[in-house]
A and B are shown apart, each in its own frame.
Chain A
Amino acid sequence: MNTIKNTVMIDGNEAAASVAHRASEVIAIYPITPSSNMGELADEWSAEGRKNLWGMVPTVVEMQSEGGAAGAVHGALQAGALATTFTASQGLLLMIPNMYKIAGELTPYCMHVAARTLATHALSIFGDHSDVMACRQTGFAMLASGSVQEAQDLAAIAHAATLRSRIPFLHFFDGFRTSHEVAKIVELPDEHLRALLDEEAIAAHRRRALTPDRPVLRGTAQNPDVFFQAREACNRFYFICPDIVRETMERFAELTGRSYGLFDYVGHPEAERVLVMMGSGAEVAHEAVNWMAARGEKVGLVKVRLYRPFDVASLAEVLPASVRAIAVLDRTKEPGSVGEPLYQDVVTALAEARNDGRIAREPRIVGGRYGLSSKEFNPAMVKAVFENLAAAAPRNHFTIGIVDDVTHTSLPVAADFDIEPDAMVRAVFFGLGSDGTVGANKNTIKIIGETTANDAQGYFVYDSKKSGAVTISHLRFGPGPIRSSYLVGKASFVACHQFEFINRYDMLEHAGEGADFLINSPYGPGEVWDKLPREVQEQILGKRVKLHVIDAYRLAREIGLKGRINTIMQTCFFKITGVLPVESAIAKIKETIQDTYGKKGGDVLKRNFEAVDRALAALSGVTVPAEVTAERRRPAVVSPAAPGFVQGVTAVMIANKGDLLPVSAFPVDGTWPVGTSQWEKRNIAAEIPVWDPAICIQCNKCALVCPHAAIRVKVYEPSLLDKAPATFKSWDFRAADYPGAKYTVQVAPEDCTGCTLCVMFCPAKDKSNPKHKSIDMHPQEPLREAERENYAFFLDLPEPDRTRPRALDVKTTQFFQPLFEYSGACAGCGETPYLKLLTQLFGDRILMANATGCSSIYGANLPTTPYASNRDGRGPAWSNSLFEDNAEFGMGMRLGLDSHRETARELVTRLVPGLPGDLVEGLLNGNQAGEAGIAAQRERVADLKFLLAGRTDPEAVRLSLFADYLVKKGVWIVGGDGWAYDIGYGGLDHVLASGRDVNVLVLDTEVYSNTGGQQSKATPLGASAKFAAAGKGTPKKDLGLIAMSYGNIYVASIAFGAKDAQTVKAFLEAESYPGPSLIIAYSHCIAHGYDMAFGCEQQKLAVDSGMWPLYRFDPRRIEAGQPPLQLDAAAPKIRVEQYMKNENRFRILERLGTDRARGLAAAAQRDAERRFQHYQQLAGLTVGKPPAEEPAKV
């Protein structure tokens, strides 16, 4: 229980959702970062039976897209319900068409947006106002919150004001900075929310509902005679809307004591320089303005709360008459505009105010951009903006927070400007996602926030990688209110939860003078100093940092907590900082442990208690020498052999210093070099596979299943071994057509994630000791140096002749170079092996269209890029357009390629007199099937280019440009099930039906993996997922069967862990099929809730139980009079339970133990049987005439 009345520690998403859930009846949702949590919470609360203000449990439905959610909401509103939704970014854009309708129909409605960057030159999940600014013309009222408290309070005000005004409201707050910041807020009780919502207005909304009992009609089509007048009919509602919002805010203040205005002014009463802004940045400015005004500077700030309808009079009213210069800061960019939208609004508003005589003189107004994609915005930047305003000719259209060395828009910012009071405890923690650091820190702020009068704030910065993810927690505690919505700069406490970070990150840049620095160190107080690189020692002495160490891993091991160091480190934090008396802190930590682990049995509880008790004794202070003693510097981030761009840009980003890069460092259009992941050596595996060649059967399956291309195989001439490193392993290659060749399985020691998939999949066991396989896991550290050298040698060995293998199968394909390597995917990812195989087979000649999702994130989330090129410089050309349009995007690529090819062919024909006849014949009609065909065509194109070189006739010049398109190029359209089954399904269906030669690869994890495991239509019956916590009640959509119904689409259902040979075959057939192909690939995923080491085992069980049928449907077989559908797995031989019991997503049924849950389990069994029988019948069907005779088998 809280000791401080009515306060809770929650994040902005929960704050807004808590109001929305209580004030709504219908909630239509769709996951999109950073708003997903609002929908998840609403769903969870409804699943628990939590009721709204009127005693009903709101209905929460997940739709197929944000467009769908908006449509559903529109319908619910028309039916007279109170509805809401949550969204962000592109999702919000998809709602815009409905927003015009909802506003045009004057419908009371409030939606909540965690404002996020729109994808332009790149996607970004982080926060700015580019999405909400794209809605300012829809007719929605817009209300901006700048803090977690406001996210709750203004949500309530918006829900209330919309009812009275009939204008729909878009309530927004900054994605991540507010949506994910955990802060202490005063809760809004039900009675206050109820008092705000006007029951008469609700009744009026009900009376306007569409009902056959009082039928009316909406949605007419109007013509030039009346549309205009009818459109103007809504004006008076907009005119009075600001007054309604003001009155609602006043009522809110009466109820809660918290007061808001349409525009709130803070600062010097006679301010001459004033900022205008909205969102969390305004909180930063508030803090800075208070500090500056207290020091006599005549500065002020206008916080914009009601952005639409924009109330000129209110703005004029709050501005002090003394103001001479105004800077308007926009968190968005509108290239080509006069200025960004808030700036333009303020300029226009004040011009009007001057004309109307509301203000005596028009101040000078400048506009600037800040904070795009959650770019840091801090008091030093606020100060810089005020300094600009003080200039005789202030810069207009400036940027703040970056260095623009190209168009010189940026304002200079003083490096050292810290205005936070000394009483504020500021702490920064560097941890791993897997070590529980963030969870412990969330506990810590909860403890402090809930047990002391102090205000508390937590903000968490996550990694761009999904495996070995680094987390940085920024915590503040102190006398409130804390308005510092920026990262901690001068921390009084810095913790390093992983010793190796010492060599990778500049953690002490966050440290203030005299800060405490706690290191989880395997080295004790006597030895640790000598293990620190020179830079760290210098900072410790320079900032008089107090050093503390604890060997938390040893302690955790002794206690049996296996790597979970969170409680140990948390206890040390309390001990060192003394924010609470140690005894009460410990009691509180134990209470939290009890809450968290109470359900998991006494033993876990006891161990965690022991961790707390023993941490205090294991913590030591370190006596720091007076001088720097280390010679060793922090190692270079990337190898000196890396290309210039990687050295100059990528490496800086890897070191967490990307904020320092100036505009000139970047390409102007988002184009990025490939193959940069090879330079980031992450060393995240504790153990790596070690090859025993003597028992290896050389099947190459280890290479096939590796999600990170970190175990590879090569076959080569023995003479190449002359220069091999001493520990490089080699063995005779057992294949008749490679006499005398050598064979090696080599691990990339610094790129392996230690997932063990290869070891689990390896079929080669030692006959005398089956526990020992041809590959076993061994600790990485002792092997690192030698294997690094071995791997470098291995990479230098020649790549194989791609035309040599007689047949492509699992074994031969794995000798081909993967052109997708070392991505940031989860350890043990079930998707990436397919992509890697794709690049091995066709990577040198494909374009890839990738739907937004996991595959686009591990495929292109900077700093590094895993798609790579081969020694000829060829490789997959990859791009991501959107989530919903990927099939269309890929089809566009096909159309473009086809057009280029036709152009090239036409030009070849026109140039015939000047070209050798056999070359022309080959170029136009040569067989390009397979590696040999492609190689031959490439040679012909090279010959053609040679002949064209130096020619200046326009057609020859044009042909040189297009000649490469004479070589067959494939298009692969890749995405997850959320895209293919849900949001992109309409487009996918259209593209498949088009008959064009495109290949679609659906990486089916059966949930929205990237956004955290929400159900999709691919989720199997009975699986639990977010938005289907009690188990999905409907069967998985059969995408393959739908596609087969067209008859001319190649369709395959594959699972590499169950039948790798079929997987390879399906890829080859899909690529060779001259029409549309669809491969649906079973992809195990951490969202299934089990250890990914067992991913392939589960794939086998999925197939054996009939949950995942394996088949190939090849329309070419129809011509041959054969049944187009071939089943590649026998009838189910185990019950689905045997598959389901190993995955937490299914086990929940067992645990729920309800009749419904049992019913679902039984239905899953029946469904698997039904589907198999259906396929079995289809597999017996031939189309058209039966074959005259069975063709002779070769």
Chain B
Amino acid sequence: MDLSTKYLGFDLPHPLMPGASPLVDDMDMVRRLEDSGASAIVMHSLFEEQIAAERQEAHFLETHEESFAEAVSYTPDAGIFALGPDEYLEQIQEIRRAVSVPVIASLNGTTPESWIEYARLIEQAGAHALEINVYYLATDPLENGEDVETRTLQTAGAVKGAVSIPVAVKLSPFFSSFSNLAGRLEGAGADGLVIFNRFYQPDIDIEALDVVPTVRLSDSGDLLLRLRWLAILSGRVRCSLAVTGGVHTAADAIKAVMAGAHAIQMVSALLRRGPEHLRRVREEMSQWMEEHGYESLRQMQGSMSLAKSGNPGALERANYMRVLQSWRA
């Protein structure tokens, strides 16, 4: 079965790949992923805050140095502690050495300068493509929606201008006019859109009066939101579309492709079932497609997009009304 697809300009044998996650921090896991047939490796995000935090730590170590005659330092040569982006950049190189599939790095910056600087470093380190992760929570009441969108667009444009490798933008669904933004991002040079980021929602510990981070793995239910927006964007934008969040089974993957995805990023399913699950999903996809008489993946790519359904807006509203009425019934 021909499962080949094109994502960010890369001809891939199939659309399945691990999404941005700590999975690939472990080189052993990277190799297992490739062995399981991952068509590309997406690395976890390099967070600028993380670099800042590490600098803070380094600063902490420094404050105890050269203070006391018996011990002018307290740790083995501090040079051993690679700091900031170095470690990440080294990892790009290491993954590149270990695997032959495209390596897609991921970045989350906070200032325009840092986005550009780190993007360049990532390109120099040998990443084949870059996913920029616009993980941002607009909590400032003085910042309006237009500002958020403008900054997102400027970031994408600036990064695109700074590097020559393909750039994908990973977004959250929380934009008032997502289609419009998607179109403008493409205009700003984005080679692909990755939908959607999953926000890790903090919980409240009512005993300790603390806010505690929680990690909830996705399930197939999370896919529905993505399917809808893939279906809306497919055919409307020319850039690549990747889905992330909620693909667990071959059926999920098939739906995503039908809705318009060129690439399918999996994290929770692989965390739960191991990297070998990726191979099973691919095999089951093939099998299903064979059973249903498909010749290639491209044949069904975007087949269920709203663009192919005439009046998407009307259809959407009609569906909404139908659902509501079914509840009443």
A176 at the interface (CB under 8 A from B): yes
With a cutoff of 8 Å between Cβ atoms, the chain A residues found around residue B210 in the complex are: 770
| Chain B residues whose C-beta falls within 8 Å of the C-beta of A826 in the assembled complex | 64
> B64 near A433 (CB under 8 angstroms)?
yes
Within the complex, what minimum Cβ distance (angstroms) separates A402 from chain B?
21
Residue of B nearest to A433 (CB): B67
Contact with B along A327-345 (1 / 0, CB 8 A): 0000000000000000000
In the assembled complex, which residues on chain A have CB atoms less than 8 Å from the CB atom of B86?
Answer: 599, 601
A463 touches B87 (CB 8 A): no
Q: Do the beta carbons of B69 and A462 come within 8 Å of each other?
A: yes
Instruction: Decide if A1153 is an interface residue (CB 8 Å cutoff).
Output: yes
- Contact flags (1/0) for A460-476 with B, using CB distance below 8 Å? 10110110010100000
A1151 touches B81 (CB 8 A): yes
- CB-CB under 8 A from B84, the residues of chain A are 599-601, 604
Q: Which of A604, A1010, A1144, A1151 contacts B87 (CB 8 A)?
A: A1151
| Contact pattern, B 51-85, Cβ under 8 Å of A = 1, otherwise 0 | 11011011111111111111111111101111111
Interface residues of A in 1014-1043 (CB under 8 A from B): 1024-1026, 1028-1029
Number of contacts between A and B (CB, 8 Å)? 141
Q: Do the beta carbons of B55 and A1086 come within 8 Å of each other?
A: no
B6 to chain A, nearest CB (A): 33
In the bound complex, do residue B63 and residue A434 qualify as a contact, i.e. CB atoms below 8 Å apart? yes
A562 at the interface (CB under 8 A from B): yes
Give the residues in chain B near A466, CB-CB below 8 Å: 67-68
**A797 CA / B72 CA spacing, docked (Å):** 42
Give the distance in Å from the alpha carbon of A36 to the alpha carbon of B65 in the complex.
Answer: 15
The residue in chain B whose Cβ has the minimal distance to the Cβ of A1007 is: B74
A-B contact pairs, 5 of them (CB 8 A): A33-B70, A37-B72, A469-B68, A603-B114, A857-B70
Task: Tell whether A762 is near chain B: CB-to-CB under 8 Å.
Answer: no
Q: Are A765 and B209 in contact (CB under 8 A)?
A: yes
Chain A nearest CB, measured from B31 CB (Å): 12
Say whether B55 contacts A1013, CB under 8 Å: no
Cβ distance B22 to chain A, nearest Cβ, rounded Å: 11
* Chain B, Cβ-Cβ closest to A40: B76
Chain A residues with CB below 8 A from B35, complex form: none
Question: Is A125 engaged at the interface, CB distance under 8 Å to the other chain?
Answer: yes
User: Does the CB pair B64–A1086 fall under 8 Å?
Assistant: yes
Cα distance, A434 to B62, chains bound together (Å)? 7
How far is A1012 from B71 in the complex, measured between Cα atoms in Å?
4
Given A599-B84, A600-B58, answer yes or no on A125-B70 (Cβ-Cβ < 8 Å): yes
User: Is A1011 part of the binding interface, using a Cβ–Cβ cutoff of 8 Å?
Assistant: yes
A564 CA to B62 CA, complexed, in Å: 10
Q: Does B217 contact A (CB under 8 A)?
A: no
Partner of B70, one of A562, A1012, A1028: A1012
Q: What 0/1 readout, one digit per residue, does chain A (996-1019) give for beta carbons within 8 Å of chain B?
A: 000000000000011111000000
Is there an interface contact between A439 and B66, defined as CB atoms closer than 8 Å? yes
Q: Which of B65-116 contact A (CB under 8 A)?
A: 65-77, 79-87, 91, 94, 114
| Binary contact track A825-846/B, C-beta < 8 Å → 1, others 0 | 0100000000000000000000
Nearest neighbor of B120 in chain A, beta-carbon distance: A602
- Of residues 1137 through 1156 on chain A, the ones whose CB sits less than 8 Å from some CB of chain B are 1144-1145, 1147-1148, 1151-1153
Kindly identify, within residues 399 to 444 of chain A, every residue whose CB is under 8 Å from any CB belonging to chain B.
Answer: 432-434, 436-439, 442
Not counting A599-B86, A1024-B76, A1151-B81, a sample of 17 additional A-B residue pairs whose C-beta atoms are within 8 angstroms of each other reads A33-B71, A34-B70, A44-B76, A434-B64, A462-B72, A463-B68, A562-B59, A599-B84, A601-B85, A603-B52, A1024-B80, A1026-B76, A1029-B80, A1089-B57, A1090-B60, A1091-B57, A1151-B80
Q: Are A1089 and B74 in contact (CB under 8 A)?
A: yes
Bound-complex Cα distance A125 to B209 (A): 49
Q: A601-B84, A770-B209 are in contact. Are A44 and B77 (CB under 8 A)?
A: yes
Residues of A within 8 A of B71 (CB): 33, 1009-1013
Confirm or deny: A496 has a beta carbon within 8 angstroms of a beta carbon on chain B: no
In the complex, whether B26 has a CB less than 8 A from a CB of chain A is yes
Alpha-carbon separation in the docked complex, A1028 to B75 (Å): 10
Known: A600-B83, A601-B85, A1153-B27. A433 touches B55 (CB 8 A): no
Closest to A1147 in B: B81
Q: How many whole Å from A897's CB to the nearest CB in chain B?
A: 32
| Residue B295 at the chain A interface, CB threshold 8 Å | no
Given contacts A433-B66, A436-B62, A1012-B70, contact A599 B82 (CB under 8 A): yes
- Asked if B117 is at the interface of the complex by the 8 Å CB criterion, the answer is yes
Given contacts A1012-B74, A1025-B76, contact A564 B68 (CB under 8 A): no
A1011 neighbours in B (Cβ, 8 Å): 70-71
Please give, as numbers and ranges, the residues of chain B lying within 8 Å of A469 by CB-CB distance. 67-68
- Tell me which of A433, A463, A465, A1147 has the highest count of chain B C-beta atoms within 10 A of its own C-beta: A433
In whole angstroms, what is the CA distance A857 to B67 when docked?
14
A41: nearest chain-B partner, CB-CB: B77
For residue A1087, CB closer than 8 A to chain B, the reply is yes
Residues of A within 8 Å of B77, CB to CB, are 44, 1029
B69 in complex: contacting residue of A176, A1089, A1152, CB < 8 Å: A176
Closest to B117 in A: A602
The winner among B57, B75, B83 for most chain A CB atoms within 10 A is B75
Shortest beta-carbon distance from A268 to chain B in Å: 38
Q: Which residue of A lies closest to B61 (CB)?
A: A1089
Nearest CB in chain B to that of A440: its residue: B66
A1149 to chain B, nearest CB (A): 11
**Option from A432, A1145, A1151 in Cβ contact (under 8 Å) with B82:** A1151
Check if A1158 is an interface residue, CB within 8 A of chain B: yes
Top 6 A-B residue pairs of the complex, sorted by shortest distance between their CB atoms: A433-B67, A1012-B71, A601-B84, A438-B66, A1029-B76, A770-B209
With known contacts A471-B66, A601-B85, A1145–B75 Cβ distance under 8 A: yes
B window 201-242: CB within 8 A of A = 209-210
Contacts known (A44-B77, A599-B83); A767 close to B209, Cβ less than 8 A: yes
Whether B69 pairs with A33 at a CB distance below 8 angstroms is yes
Cβ of B163 to closest chain A Cβ, rounded Å: 16
Task: Tell me the chain A residues, 445-480 only, with Cβ under 8 Å from chain B.
Answer: 460, 462-463, 465-466, 469, 471
- State A1148–B58 Cα separation when bound (angstroms): 13
A1012: chain B residues within 8 A (beta carbon): 70-74
B27, B81, B85, B94: which contacts A1148 (Cβ < 8 A)? B81
Q: A1024-B76, A1144-B57 are in contact. Are A460 and B81 (CB under 8 A)?
A: no
Please, how many angstroms separate the alpha-carbon atoms of A433 and B69 in the complex?
A: 10
C-alpha spacing A765/B209, complex, angstroms: 8
Chain B residue with minimal CB distance to A176? B69
Contacts of A463 in B (CB 8 A): 67-68
Q: Which listed residue (B67, B69, B80) contacts A434, Cβ 8 A? A: B67
* Interchain CB contact under 8 A, B81 and A462: no
With A466-B67, A1158-B26 as contacts: A1091 and B60 at CB distance below 8 Å: yes
CA distance A466 to B81 in the complex (A): 24
- B172-191 interface (Cβ within 8 A of A): none
| Distance in angstroms between the alpha carbons of A826 and B71 in the assembled complex | 12
Among B52, B75, B79, which residue has its beta carbon within 8 angstroms of that of A1024?
Answer: B75
Kindly list chain A residues whose C-beta atoms are within 8 Å of the C-beta of B85: 601
Inter-chain contact A1087/B75, CB cutoff 8 Å: yes
Q: Which residues of A contact B114 (CB under 8 A)?
A: 603
Contact A125 B83 (CB under 8 A): no
Docked pose: A1012 CA to B76 CA in angstroms? 9
Query: Shortest distance in angstroms between A29's beta carbon and chain B's nearest beta carbon?
Result: 14
**Distance between Cα atoms of A247 and B57 in the complex (Å):** 53
Give the one of B26, B63, B65, B74 with max A CB within 10 A. B74
A462 B76 Cβ-Cβ under 8 A: no
A467: shortest Cβ distance to chain B, in Å?
9
Contact of A1026 among B28, B57, B75 (CB under 8 A): B75
Q: Is the CB of A460 within 8 A of B73?
A: no
Are B74 and A1087 closer than 8 Å at their CB atoms? yes
Known contacts A600-B83, A601-B83, A462 near B68 by CB under 8 Å: yes
Q: How far is the CA of A125 from the CA of B69 in the complex (A)?
A: 8
**Complex contacts, A1147 vs chain B, CB 8 Å:** 81
Complex Cα gap A1026–B63 (Å): 18
